[in-house]
């Protein structure tokens, strides 16, 4: 339970730091311009970002990848732009991860 409290606190602190407000739609915004959000807050972070940046849509599914020859996957939420670019502000693949795939579906 303490882990969840610290994640919620990190999320709330990040929102205060960013002072996120709704932005005008900008389909040319580069992925790196979206703010990084705390790890383990993908579901709420993707929804908040979609509310603040109207060019983003929320997607739910699984991230699948290979890490040192071992297949890995986990449930996740992320954003996508109108032209299909993935905006994942809560997870970065490990440097030695390969074959990273975002699969939409139930998560």
Q: What is the pLDDT of residues 90-100, one digit of tens each?
A: 999 999 999 99
Residue 3 has what pLDDT? 65
Q: How far is CA 85 from CA 5, 21, 43, 81, 106, in A?
A: 32, 22, 18, 5, 20
User: In the predicted model, what is the mean pLDDT of residues 24-50?
Assistant: 93
User: In the predicted model, what is the mean pLDDT of residues 55-61?
Assistant: 97
Residue 48 has what pLDDT? 94
Q: What is the pLDDT of residues 66-105, one digit of tens each?
A: 999 999 999 999 999 999 999 999 999 999 999 999 998 7
Residue 30 has pLDDT above 60, yes or no: yes
Give the start-to-end residue ranges of the domains of the chain.
Answer: 2-104
CA distance 18 to 3: 23
The angle subtended at Cα 59 by Cα 61 and Cα 68, nearest 5°, is 45
Mean pLDDT of the chain: 91
Token match 């994942």: residue?
A: 88
Among residues 53, 46, 48, the alpha carbon closest in space to that of 23 is found at 53
Residue 65 has pLDDT above 90, yes or no: yes
The angle subtended at Cα 7 by Cα 3 and Cα 12, nearest 5°, is 150
Contacts (Cβ under 8 Å, ≥6 apart) of 99:
64, 65, 66
């Amino acid at each position: 339970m303490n882990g969840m409290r610290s994640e919620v606190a990190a999320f709330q602190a990040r929102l205060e730091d960013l002072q996120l407000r709704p932005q005008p739609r900008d389909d040319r915004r580069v992925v790196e311009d979206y703010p990084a959000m705390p790890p383990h807050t993908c579901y709420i972070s993707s929804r908040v970002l979609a509310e603040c940046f109207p060019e983003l849509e929320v997607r739910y599914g699984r991230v699948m990848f290979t890490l040192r020859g071992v297949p890995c996957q986990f449930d996740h939420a992320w954003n996508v732009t109108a032209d299909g670019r993935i905006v994942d502000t809560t997870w970065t693949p490990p440097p030695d991860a390969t074959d990273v795939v975002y699969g939409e579906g139930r998560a």
